[in-house]
Amino acid sequence: MIKLSPLFLSLTIFAISLGCQPSQTQDLPQNLSQTPKNINNSAIAPSPNVSESKFKIPQTEIKATKPWHILVVVKDTFDPKTGKHGDLYQEQVWQGAMKAGADFGVKVELLANTCHTCVEDQIRAISERVDAGGINGIVIMVTDSIRVAPVIEKAIARGISVVAMDTPLNSDKILTFVVFDNVAGGKVMGEWLVQKLGGQGRVLILDGALEQQNAVDRREGFLAGLRTGKIDILETKSAAWSQEEAKEITQQWLQKYNNINAIIAANYAMSVGASEAVREANLQDKIIVTGFDAMPPALQSIKEGAIAATIDQTPDLQARLSIQLLLRHLENRETFPPRVLIPNIPLIDRDTIDN
């Protein structure tokens, strides 16, 4: 059966971008306006030897004709007693996956993790679930782009088809990698901030976990956007996606630096933590805080004026598309480009949040 999907009809042609090698972090320039060098942090792509191509998102969604069982692997915790996820982004991924499973007629199973950066625990859990059998496909958000690859290739060798989403997996054996364009999203945010600052200012950057390629890509995008103005980068530091760590780092920065104009955070939790520290120091009218991910706490903070802006990655749509592409392969052996980028990059601020 084929069903028209408003979600799928609303998207345009995907940009297919093929990275080549795992990234290497370089020292960051302190004044981006005076240092035009390129930083080589291109995203890991599943296949470095495939020529560039274009891919049109399917204009219809198919339904399953067989009882396919798809495992959805997320990065963070889930408590079945309370129904609570350890991370709101993962919750939206799972909500999108469950809706897709119901709409497409496939069984979806959640495999959570012990923490957002617990790589060995994720590897162990995947291995045990693959050994238990009974699954036809996997949609995975990896905790580490390199270290998780062997256990996924073990699953593929057993006939299980795999789609990575959100964070790339360094393997040429997966079907595809569905992802929001983190570099482009970071660039949009950097350019927005340059405009807000009138073209110049002193900025701090809160990185995510740098063993995860999406964190590296967002930073690369931030830097590209900030280069459009005369911006001094005072410091960058990883808070590993944590609200608590971001608050602590921001408190240290407020003691260390004078005349801070803005703090860019690579996810919603870190932006909330940074905004808490800024507010407690009574500097909310002097320091702009921005984030990444349009999660409810970030949106509420924008409404209250604590956070100035964020980028919406549409995680539920990423999950839906990942499951649909996996289903199309299971049903019809369809193949896809190594990486599929969602082109829309919604920036949400006080002017657009009501929309």
- Asked whether residue 12 is assigned to any structural domain, the reply reads no
- Asked whether residue 353 is assigned to any structural domain, the reply reads no
Q: What is the CATH number of the domain that holds 227?
A: 3.40.50.2300
Model pLDDT, residue 314: 85
How far apart are alpha carbons 85 and 271 in whole angstroms?
19
**Tokens representing residue 44 in the block:** 């890991």
- Asked whether residue 265 is assigned to any structural domain, the reply reads yes
Verify that 85 and 32 share a domain, yes or no.
no
Verify that 109 and 142 share a domain, yes or no.
yes
Convert the pLDDT of each residue in 41-93 to its tens digit.
233 333 333 333 577 888 899 999 999 999 999 999 999 889 889 888 889 99
Verify that 68 and 126 share a domain, yes or no.
yes
Verify that 186 and 307 share a domain, yes or no.
yes
Sequential DSSP letters for 48-61: TTSPP--BPPPSEE
- Asked whether residue 335 is assigned to any structural domain, the reply reads yes
**Domains: count for the chain:** 2
pLDDT band at 211 (very low <50, low <70, confident <90, very high): confident
Verify that 192 and 246 share a domain, yes or no.
yes
How far apart are alpha carbons 183 and 240 in whole angstroms?
18
Verify that 201 and 171 share a domain, yes or no.
no
- Asked whether residue 3 is assigned to any structural domain, the reply reads no
Query: CA angle, 162 as apex, 175 and 336 as ends, to 5°?
Result: 15
- Asked whether residue 50 is assigned to any structural domain, the reply reads no
- Asked whether residue 130 is assigned to any structural domain, the reply reads yes
- Asked whether residue 51 is assigned to any structural domain, the reply reads no
Helices (H), the chain: 6-10, 88-104, 119-132, 149-157, 182-196, 213-226, 243-256, 268-280, 296-304, 315-332
Convert the pLDDT of each residue in 152-209 to its tens digit.
999 999 999 999 998 889 999 999 999 888 899 999 999 999 999 999 999 999 999 8
Q: Which residue has the tokens 């054996």?
A: 173
Verify that 306 and 186 share a domain, yes or no.
yes
Verify that 318 and 336 share a domain, yes or no.
yes
Query: CA angle, 185 as apex, 181 and 189 as ends, to 5°?
Result: 175
Domain of residue 228: give its range: 26-43+181-311
Verify that 234 and 302 share a domain, yes or no.
yes
Verify that 223 and 263 share a domain, yes or no.
yes
DSSP state at residue 34: G
